Structures are given as C-alpha cells and as structure tokens.
Chain A
C-alpha cells in the first residue's frame, strides 16, 4: 500500500483557470477519498485532533470514509464543526491538524482538509441533514456579525436549543467568507449552503443592521430581551501606508477590491451594476493570503496583463499559505521581494501612472519572530503600474465598543476578553478578529465555539 504519497487532488489547468473565477481545486471522488482515508494509521491517541481549533474527531470520520459511511462521517464532523465545507477549503491545515499527523515522520501527512471537504460536499450534494432536535431553551442570544466566528457560535448555540438571531451590516451573510475570499477558492454557493443549514437549525437572520448605528447592544439587551450577546464583528478596517499618491484613482484597499469582486460581482459588470477599474499592470502590496487573493483576482479580470506582488520581506517570511503562493506562481503572478513602495505617481487626471519603490534588506527578528525589513538607502527604483492594491492588513472597527456601555478595548481597538470570550461586561462575549486582530478563519471559529460554551454556562448560571 502506498503509505507515503497522498492522493493528489485534481485541479483546473492554470492556463484555463486564469480566465475564470471557478474553483481551482476540484475535490476528491469517492474512490480517491477512500484511498486517501485508508492511509490513516488510526492512532489510539491521535495528535491531529489537538491541532484542530474546533477538535474535529479526525480518525473517527476518516475511518467512516474507509467504510464508505459518508453520512456517518458527516455527522461526526458536524458534531464539533459548523462549517466543514468552508474549513476543508480554507484552513491552513499544514499548520494545524496535518502538521501534527504522525505520517509526517515517514512521508506526507493525511490530507485531512481534503477529506473533510469531500465529506461536506457529499453531504451538501445529497441533502444530508444533521439530526439535531435539542430541547428548546427560551433564551434569546444575539450574534453580531455573520463571519466565521459568529456563524460557529450561532451553530453551537442552536444545537444547545437557544433562540439565536444573527445581525449583519451588509446585505449578505458570511463576512470575509462572502466579501473577502474569492469564488475560485471558496465558491459562494458553498457558503450559502452552510448558512442555509444554520437557518434550518432555527437561526433568525437580520441583514442590513449595523449594530452601533441601526440599533445598539444596550437596546438589544435592555429593550429586545436578548440575555446574551456575541460580538463577532471582525477586523474590517483597512490600513493604508500613508505615502504620497495613495488617494489617486486606481489605488484600492484589498477590502474594497475584493468586496467589489466577491460580494458585488464586479467581474460580471455590466451584467451586475458594480464597476471595477483596473489597468494593464497591477501591483499588490503585501504578502498575506489577502494579497494572494487580490493578485489572483486581478489576474482574472479583463484587460489585466501583468500582476506583481510587492512584499517588503522575502518569500520565506510570507504569511500566505504555501498552497496559495504556489497557485499564484502557477498562474503567472510575478513577485518583487524585499521592496517597499514609498510614493505613487499620478497623471494629470489623477490616475496611477507609476510607483517608486525602495529595496529592503532583512535585519534582526522583530516581535513577530520575522526578520525586520530595513531600507537600503539610494536603492530606489520606479515600477510602471496603473493599479495599486493595498493588502497591508486590517484592524477592528471601533463602532461597537464606542456605542456599548462597559466594553474594554485594547489600544489598537481589539475587544478585551478572557480565554473563553467573556468581555468586561456580563452577558457580552466576543471572539474572532474583533478580539485578536486579523487572523484565520479557523481561529475565529474556535473562538466562536469557546464563546458558545461560555454563553451556555453563563445563561445556565443565571437560572430560569
């Protein structure tokens, strides 16, 4: 038996896929999934589970796959994970479950993410539903924000029998899953299907409600009868560099660029009404997953000839997932490492014409453990570009803390909580990027899960 090699997953040919927004990775067939699952050694003390922030019972669901019991595998996964079709696609498994797999010692780890995705897709295609009929608890919980943290928290609370209402500022649910991560990595029909499952479990949904503006948390608790609130509002405030020329036409934050493309479907303009304006040469500034998403999205737009990622450190320090960097390279994205923009130059009419960039070298490691980039004096050069996308990270919006009584925040805007998501105010919990700053989908889900448990404890202790 081929223990060493994992079963490869079929993908769209790079030459074809750069002309569409369809999913790149095509998923396993039943036979492929069974073959891959059979590589699992079924450790009695599995180390993989500890690497998963929501503790999916990995060997158990994999065993069910080998026995062709896909429905059972789905029930095992969803007993701890509310969004398996999403996690199987976007989790950095190489740093979590798969990193801990014992097979790493002799070859490649089990493709846990691909197997989870296979099971979840199988369940969605075959309309398999969770059998959850919890005893109804007549207690209302409000979830603010419908990203991964909020959806997970809502899912767990629904399974416990709580009366859950999700409030979302945008017109569509999903947070970063909907507006941030592109279709070619995470099809929106998958996100919609996962959300439909939550609705079937009884989730109530209020879109177009900006908590802090349309209604406040104090009003929800004092007037609307919500006994607990979970804040999962993320970190959606984009950062800019503060360099000259940043307000020229053709300079986008990655958030704006991706929102226009993913949420508003600007790549289908004029069939859809929202436009997007890109030139022939696009520069994306940054080295994270968002930078990869923006670069690969830009490449797929009509008229774009070249996309260059400009990153101030080297390839080794890039925070983006290895798989996404590989995909970007396959698709023909170019990279300018150890370079940092210092000025964007414009035309008379106010459009981007070029960008002045300075060379960097790496110094001592900084607080994040990565080597600090230092400018090399006199190494300035000019890149001819007509679109610039800033993917420098995001920070939490201060709207909720500034309009809610007794919520303490960090200097940089993150909501202060204990390990289980309790804020300084009784009954109000928080998790995900709103607490940690921009992190990963699965960490947000882990935080939503912990908070659901803490909310349950809090409401039980309050008694009837």
Chain B
C-alpha cells in the first residue's frame, strides 16, 4: 500500500498527489512513469512522474479527472492509500551537450514537461518554455515552470490569459524569427504533438514527444501500448514513452486511444451513479451500506 502524503487541486479536475514510494523515488528520472491501481478490482493506469524527491522518498503525480479511475482517484485524500504503485518505468530522457532547449506543454502535458525542464535548468541549459491550456483556470504549474525557464510564454485557447491561441502559434513565431534550439520537447494531447512536430520538421530541429497510449502492465509483456515509429512497432512502455516526434505515426496513436471509448463511458456513468448516491446518502444521513 502506498500512502498519499499531500493532495493539491491545481485546477478544476486537475489534482496533484505526493505519494510515499521510496523505492520508486530513489530510481526515478525525468521521462519515466508509474503504473497504479487504486484498489482490488481496479484497472492499472499509467501516470508520468511529475517530480520526485529521493531523500524524502516521495513521488509526485498529476492527473486530470477524465474517466472512472481518475475520478475515483480524485476522491482520495491525504492519508489515504493506493493499492499498487510500480515504477519507475520507461526509458529516462537525456540531453547531453545541449545549450538551448524549447519546452512546450499543453494542458496536462505541462506536468510531464516539468521534470525534464527542471533537469535541463539544473544542467545550466538555456530553457525557453511555452505552456498553454484551454482557459486560464486550467493552466497548471505556472510558477514551477517559470522557476526553471529563462523565458516563458503562456497561451490560452480563449485568450483569458497570455497569448490568445494555441501554443503552436508562439512556436511558429519563434522559429520564423530564426531562433535556434538544440531540441524541442512537445508534450500534450496527441493532436498538439502531431501538429507541433509538423511545424518543427522543416527546420530540422530534433523534436521529442512523450506518447500516452493505452497500457496494461507497463513492463513490455503485452504490447497494448504499441506505436509505429519510423515504420517499426515499438512498445511505448519499454522503448519510450519519449520518441522522435518526426517519426511517430500520430494518426494511428489517436485511433488506438479510442479503442475503449464505449467501455470508458459505461464505467464512468456507473461510477457517477454510485458516487452520487453515496454523496446524497451522506448528506441525508442515510448510509445504506451501513444499514445493511
């Protein structure tokens, strides 16, 4: 069992947990992830390591409540336990000899971007960042990203904060102005990583993306997370999750992510019904489970 030490609400529906997991914390490196299972009967879901502290033995995860499991996870509080928490998984990212890097994070993608930029910043690399969200209140980790960036741009789709528009608008501008980077990191929804990679390609700048396919075990034994990179099948859990954005088949990834759309809906509706009932019962002071 793994204890939740701290819980923070970063934005409506986006939550941060600090988890006590000394073995994972000791080995964690930027770019790696964990698989977790809330309880018996639960499913295994992958979450990127957003930060870690090997001395305190803690690992930070950030998640958005998009379906049944993440909603249920969001109901847990500091002091509660998660049944299973395994990692660090995947290949750590490395940036040898870089002098200047551009990091782009869209929505929840800002969380996995953070440990990479933090490491680059600590290595003395010049870091430029662009972070964006649908609207101002969904923008997360602004202070953290700012602290590890030499320059930061903010974008919102509705213009409620920073530049009006997608993060790719600023990316285009910087490249058109002739600004040079040793590498560009893009993390966010697959469509953002796809479009971003298409923008950087003509400039010949190496572009790293972090893929988020469906995973089951996360250790390379099932191939559920397979993606096509440069025409070859790769397992994102052991060969990635970071890949060369110019070589990834994003259209295939996007289609595969929709595999369980129906089931996900059923599961969430069922959870909402049960959860709502429980809440109502609590409010009315009638805990039916207790009566039984």
> Which residues of A line the B interface, CB within 8 A?
169-171, 207-210, 213-215, 236-238, 240, 242, 246-247, 249-250, 252-253, 255-256, 259-260, 264-265, 269-277, 349-350, 397, 399
Contact = CB atoms under 8 A, between A and B. Distances in A.
Given A207-B84, A208-B85, A274 B222 contact: no
Contacts of B223: 238, 240, 253, 255-256
B7 to A, nearest CB: 21
A236 B221 contact: yes
A171 B260 contact: no
Main secondary structure of the interface of A (DSSP, over half): loop
Interface in B263-285: 263-264, 266-267, 270
The 3 closest A-B pairs by CB, nearest first: A350-B255, A275-B263, A256-B222
A171 B216 CA distance: 12
B88 interface: yes
Interface in B244-266: 252, 255-256, 258-260, 262-264, 266
A275 B23 CA distance: 30
B84 A171 contact: yes
Contacts of B83: 171
Most B Cβ at <10 Å: residue of A208, A240, A269 = A208
Interface of B: 23-24, 27, 37, 41-44, 68-69, 83-89, 216-217, 219-224, 226-228, 233, 238, 252, 255-256, 258-260, 262-264, 266-267, 270
Contacts of B262: 277
Contact of B41 (A169, A208, A209, A273): A273
Nearest to B260: A275
A270 B216 contact: no
B210 to A, nearest CB: 18
A252 B255 CA distance: 15
Given A238-B221, A264-B44, A350-B252, A213 B88 contact: yes
Contact of A213 (B89, B222, B226): B89
Given A169-B86, A209-B23, A237-B221, A273 B233 contact: no
A270 B267 contact: yes
Contacts of B23: 209, 214-215
B87 A213 contact: yes
A252 B260 CA distance: 13
B233 A214 contact: no
Contact of A236 (B24, B44, B220, B224): B220
B255 A349 contact: yes
Contacts of A247: 226-228, 233, 252, 256
B266 to A, nearest CB: 5
B43 A274 contact: yes
A277 B42 contact: no
Contacts of B88: 213-214
Contacts of B255: 249, 349-350
A301 to B, nearest CB: 12
Nearest to A168: B86
A287 to B, nearest CB: 20
Contacts of A271: 41
A372 B292 CA distance: 64
A260 B223 CA distance: 12
B263 A256 contact: no
Nearest to B232: A242
Contact of A253 (B24, B222, B227, B256): B222
Given A269-B263, A271-B41, A208 B69 contact: no
Contact of A270 (B37, B84, B270): B270
Contacts of B252: 247, 350
Contacts of A397: 219-221
Given A249-B255, A250-B259, A350-B255, 17 more contacts: A210-B86, A213-B27, A213-B87, A215-B23, A246-B233, A247-B227, A253-B223, A256-B223, A259-B221, A265-B41, A270-B267, A271-B41, A272-B42, A274-B43, A275-B264, A349-B255, A397-B221
A249 B259 contact: yes
Contact of A237 (B85, B220, B267, B270): B220
A215 B88 CA distance: 10
Contacts of B256: 247, 249, 350
Most B Cβ at <10 Å: residue of A169, A210, A253, A264 = A210
A247 B43 CA distance: 22
Contacts of A276: 263
21 contacts: A207-B84, A210-B86, A210-B89, A210-B219, A214-B86, A236-B221, A242-B233, A247-B252, A249-B255, A249-B256, A250-B259, A256-B216, A256-B222, A259-B216, A269-B267, A270-B267, A275-B43, A277-B262, A349-B258, A350-B256, A397-B221
